[in-house]
Amino acid sequence: MSDPLIEAALAAQQRAYVPYSRFRVGAALRTVEGMVIAGCNVENAAYPQGACAEAGAISAMVLAGGTRIAEAVVVGDSAAPCTPCGGCRQRLREFAVPGMRVRMVDGTGRVLLSATLEELLPHSFGPDHLPG
Ligand code: THU
């Protein structure tokens, strides 16, 4: 397999800190600048303080100077595609280019589902809604 975005998501998944759910998630973003940035889920004994893989990847992207997400890959431990949670759809929305595609892959890197962010989060609210 030779897709760097899928490889990055799979590698990130191995770093997941998931003592509570045991559900490992990896996410990788390709930015418009050409960077590949990954994240994993990091859980917490105070359960709601856990962070999703997508959230970690977005934070790392901003820190690295990335501005917009051109494409994303998410991998989870389920047989069904690991679709981004509702909150992470909105987080991705903030930085997504129009038509941005999210590929959800299994642990071997096989694509289980490919969807645009618009399909995952239709009629979304974004920066353009705000004045200024
Ligand atoms: N999780 C993610 O990291 N991303 C998703 O898109 C779905 C869910 C995490 C949160 C929690 O650590 C675990 O998966 C089980 O919900």
pLDDT in tens, 7-21: 999 999 999 999 999
3-state secondary structure of 78: coil
Q: Which residue's alpha carbon is nearest to atom 10 within ligand 1? A: 52
Tell me the per-residue pLDDT of 41-70, one tens digit each, with 9 for 90 and over.
999 999 999 999 999 999 999 999 999 999
Averaged pLDDT, 73-84:
96
- Taken as a whole, the chain contains a residue count of 132
Q: Which one, of 96, 22, 100, lies nearest residue 58 by Cα?
A: 96
For residue 40, what are the β-bridge partners? 26
pTM, full prediction: 0.97
For the chain, the average pLDDT equals: 97
Tell me the per-residue pLDDT of 103-132, one tens digit each, with 9 for 90 and over.
999 999 999 999 999 999 999 999 999 998
pLDDT at 74: 98
* pLDDT band at residue 2 under the 50/70/90 scheme: confident
d(CA 19, CA 17): 6
* pLDDT band at residue 1 under the 50/70/90 scheme: low
CA of 132 from ligand 1 middle (Å) equals 34
pLDDT at 115: 98
Probe ligand 1: pick from 24, 85, 91, max atoms within 8 Å of CB? 85
